[in-house]
């Protein structure tokens, strides 16, 4: 824990007005943003596939963006979308 505090407080004057933002910036610099981005993309792709399989592509993408892998369970718990019924064709006009 001391090592993390040392990294967070590196170059920060605790009495300075912007000390909070500097500590916040130091902590955000410690996160593996590249890995987090690609994991999120993977969650959305799987959510899209599950949504497509269930007939709810947009819902699959939205739930995966909002909840990550937990959104997959939301998509799977919803009933399968019924295909839209097309109206019957119009009758042909009789030629005089």
Q: What is the pLDDT along the chain (96 residues), one digit of tens a residue?
A: 888 888 888 888 888 888 889 888 988 999 999 999 999 999 999 999 999 999 999 999 999 999 999 999 999 999 888 877 888 888 888 776
Same domain, 43 and 17: no
Same domain, 43 and 74: yes
Question: Is 85 inside any structural domain?
Answer: no
Question: Is 94 inside any structural domain?
Answer: no
Query: What is the per-residue pLDDT for 33?
Result: 95
Query: Contacts from 75-81 at CB under 8 Å and sequence distance 24+?
Result: 75/47, 75/50, 75/51, 76/50, 78/54, 80/54, 80/55, 81/54, 81/55, 81/56
Element (H, E) at 6: helix 2-8
Domain housing 46:
32-80
Question: Are the C-beta atoms of residues 72 and 50 closer than 8 Å to each other?
Answer: yes
Helix intervals (H) in 30-86: 33-53, 57-67, 70-77
pLDDT digits (tens, 9 = 90+) for 10-28: 888 888 888 889 888 988 9
Question: Is 88 inside any structural domain?
Answer: no
Query: What is the per-residue pLDDT for 88?
Result: 83
């Amino acid at each position: 824990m001391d090592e993390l505090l040392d990294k967070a407080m590196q170059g920060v004057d605790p009495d300075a007005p912007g000390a909070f933002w500097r500590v916040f910036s130091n902590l955000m610099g410690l996160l593996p943003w590249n890995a987090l981005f690609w994991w999120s993309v993977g969650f959305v792709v799987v959510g899209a596939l599950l949504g497509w399989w269930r007939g709810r592509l947009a819902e699959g993408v939205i739930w995966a963006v909002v909840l990550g892998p937990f959104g997959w369970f939301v998509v799977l718990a919803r009933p399968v979308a019924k295909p839209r019924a097309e109206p019957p064709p119009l009758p042909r006009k009789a030629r005089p």
